[in-house]
Structure 1
């Protein structure tokens, strides 16, 4: 593994540390709401990218 790829190597301890930090920052009750918002944002992004792929004459407004 080359030296510039080293920061991209995330192991189980790093993931556990990130999860603990997120729980401490946001609290256990706030995390489901954050994930719901993230999921809806991803869904909107996918829908918008699908609309861009359609030709202009296929769009009905």
Structure 2
């Protein structure tokens, strides 16, 4: 859950830190992929959140 919180925070702030740092979709997913080992349900939610962030322009593709 500790790794999930920054993702959720960035999503809820319209990608404020992601935009400032030029973070990409792939960077978020690759850095947090270990979450999938702990919970496939949470990982699926994260993937959907990240994809939605890209669609909304919060995160670079």
TM-score when normalising by structure 1? 0.32
**Relative contact order higher in (CA < 8 Å, ≥ 6 apart):** 2
TM-score, normalised via structure 2 length: 0.32
Bigger-Rg structure (1/2): 1
